[in-house]
Structure 1
Amino acid sequence: MSPGSGRNGGIKSIETSFAIVETLHDNQPLRLVEIANRVGIANSTAHEHLSTLRDHGYVVDRSDGYYLSLKFVDHGKQAMVYYRDLLEAARPSLEQLVDETDEAVNLVVEEHGCAVYVDRQTGKRGVPTNSWVGKRKQLHSLSAGKAILAHLPTDRVDEVLGESGLPAVTERTITSRDRLEEELEAIRDRGVSFNDRESHEQIRAVSAPIVVDGTVFGAVSVAGPAKRLTGAYFREELPDLLLGAVNEIELKLVYS
């Protein structure tokens, strides 16, 4: 590997810049020395990258340290253009689910092998979690993620799991490929997926995939406190509501 080469033939300097961006995303504000230490580079190298990012408007140097700039918001809005039809088709159904459940309702897609939240509506009883539009999580730990995996082509599932593995998020997360395959088969049979405290010790969720002509566009989930989402409500009522909502979304996508 040449000095300028990064992983998988990438460009090392660009990888360093993105490492700085991701470090700021998780920890801002940070001062130059803190960034250099976290990324594992020299202070002078960190200064060069930060100066370039600042000159192009991607970071802001404030009195208490460096922050990501609002330029990323602009890029994020443009990134959502690809999902415009899905978002427009899904929004009324998401709002209806919020009215019916008063819980948190999510629209999730798969990108780069991750579950990504592209819309989130929350009822009055919806509890705050570490999920928001743009948040990326492990597919196998979420009801929406498993619903998507269940309808992806086998080679794509192999590719995703080959890269990400099956790490445990909680003690209840599925970490065995054989166990996951059994779960994905069950999801295809019943049409819905369950998350029984697999991504958070106190959260349960139910999800249904959005599938049109054999292609999975994403999934809709309803999530709430594990002590409230129980029994027939969790296993029967919420799935029925979700299947009805997703059917509406699929029809809108077909005829849009």
Structure 2
Amino acid sequence: MGHAKNPVMAVGTTTTILQKLFELNGAGVTELSNHLDITKGTVHNHLTTLEENKLVVRDGDEFRLGLRFFEYGEHVKNQHKIYQVGVPEADKLAEETGELGNILVEEHGLGTYLYRAEGENALSLDTDIGSRVYLHQTALGKAILANLSRERVERIVEEHGLEPSTEQTITTRDALFEELAEVRERGYAIDSQERAEGIRCVAAPVITNDGVVRGSVSVAGPASRMRGEYLETTVPDLVERAANVISINLSYT
């Protein structure tokens, strides 16, 4: 979460335009100019340069992100060793529980889903592979935060805040640090409808033998099924086992 000493303004403008194209699922020059308060000439120059570099494509008067980003994304995903060794364990979690098995990593203070395995009863959620989420709102994120230094967590909260998603979301630092202490003691985290109403999740951190938290793995399902002994014992045992296997494989490969 460093800051450039001499930021290149053109790069910042390009990034802003790409982000808005992503959010709007494609847009024309005028629409982008109005959304971003950037002159149409500047927007057009950036878009045509991106088009020449095969990063965006034009469909009539509208531009959208190009498939080159898919190529980049696949490359980045496969570069993560936790993805390489974690997929079989996430698949096993999904098969054993019938729910969603997930792998998440932290980057720039946010969580990114690297992989998702669907069991036979899995719900359809709004978090696809590549989706970014606030760490404090999810069991996956809290499992990671609990194993970072307090200073690092403080910096993440300072940058991203404690935005609520539901009435159950943690929104104060005191409550967050109290929760993270419980996660460390318990060995796993629970998301009790803190990001999405009706959804519960159990997650365990993936920590290599050098003490570094590499990510987290989880099972997510509807609150109607994720309750009682199943939530408190059965699923945590499965998730912790999966996290342990991934941790060992990461440490010695």
Q: TM-score, with normalisation over the residues of structure 2?
A: 0.94
- Counterparts of residues 1-12 of structure 1 (less than 5 Å): 9-12=6-9
Give the AA of the match of 1:79.
V
Distance, in Å, in 2 between the alignment partners of 1:226 and 1:26 is 30
- From 148, 155, 171, the equivalent of 1:152 is 148
* Equivalent of 1:75 in 72, 77, 88: 72
Is residue 203 of structure 2 the alignment partner of residue 207 of structure 1? yes
Counterpart secondary structure, 1:173: coil
Alignment correspondent of 1:56 = 53
Residue 233 (structure 1) shift:
0.9
Amino acid at match of 1:179: A
Deviation per CA, 1:18-54, whole angstroms, max 9, x where unpaired? 1111111111221211111111111111111111111
Give SS of 2:171's match. Answer: coil
Percentage identity across paired residues of the two chains: 36
Q: CA deviation at 1:247?
A: 1.4
Whole-angstrom distance in 2 between the partners of 1:7 and 1:218: 26
Distance 1:253 1:16, change over 3 A: same
Structure 1 runs (4+) greater than 2 angstroms displaced = 6-9
1:237 partnered with 2:239: no
Distance in 2 between residues matched to 1:7 and 1:34, nearest whole Å? 30
Q: Are 2:179 and 1:194 equivalent residues in the alignment?
A: no
SS of residue matched to 1:144: helix
Within the alignment, does 1:44 sit opposite 2:41 as a pair?
Answer: yes
2:126 alignment counterpart: 130
Within 1, Cα distance between the matches of 2:106 and 2:89?
Answer: 20
Aligned residues: 250
Aligned partner letter, 1:13: A
Alpha-carbon distance between aligned partners in 2 of 1:7 and 1:68, rounded to the nearest angstrom: 26
- Output aligned runs, 1:8-23, within 5 Å: 9-23=6-20
The 8 Å contact of residues 78 and 84 in structure 2, kept in 1 or not, is answered as no
Residue 120 of structure 1, aligned match among 90, 113, 116? 116
Alignment-derived partner of residue 141 in structure 1: 137
Amino acid paired to 2:50: L
Question: Which amino acid counterpart does residue 22 of structure 1 have in structure 2?
Answer: Q
Aligned residues of 1:204 and 1:224 also touching (Cα < 8 A): yes
In structure 1, the residue matched to 2:27 is 30
- Cα deviation for residue 135 of structure 1 reads 0.9
C-alpha distance in 2 between matches for 1:196 and 1:8: 41
Aligned counterpart, 1:224 = 221
Aligned partners of 1:215, 1:46: CA distance in 2, in Å? 42
Pair 153,134 (structure 1): closer, same or farther in 2 beyond 3 Å: same
**Equivalent residue runs for 1:80-91 within 5 Å:** 80-83=77-80, 85-91=81-87
Aligned residue in 2 for 1:94: 90
Query: What is the CA–CA distance in structure 2 between the aligned matches of 1:105 and 1:14, rounded to whole Å?
Result: 37
Q: Which moved more, 1:109-118 or 1:71-80?
A: 71-80
Aligned-residue Cα RMSD (Å) equals 1.5
Q: Determine the structure 2 residue equivalent to 1:165.
A: 161
Find the aligned partners of 1:8 and 1:134 in 2 and give their Cα distance: 29
Q: 198-207 vs 56-65, which deviates more?
A: 56-65
Counterpart among 62, 65, 78 of residue 65 in structure 1: 62
Distance 1:203 1:7 in 2: 39
Per-residue deviation at 1:171? 1.1
Contact in 2 for aligned 1:29/1:64 (Cα 8 Å): no
The residue that corresponds to 1:3 in the other structure is none
For structure 1, list consecutive stretches of 5 or more residues without a partner in the other structure: 1-5
Secondary structure of the 1:155 match is helix
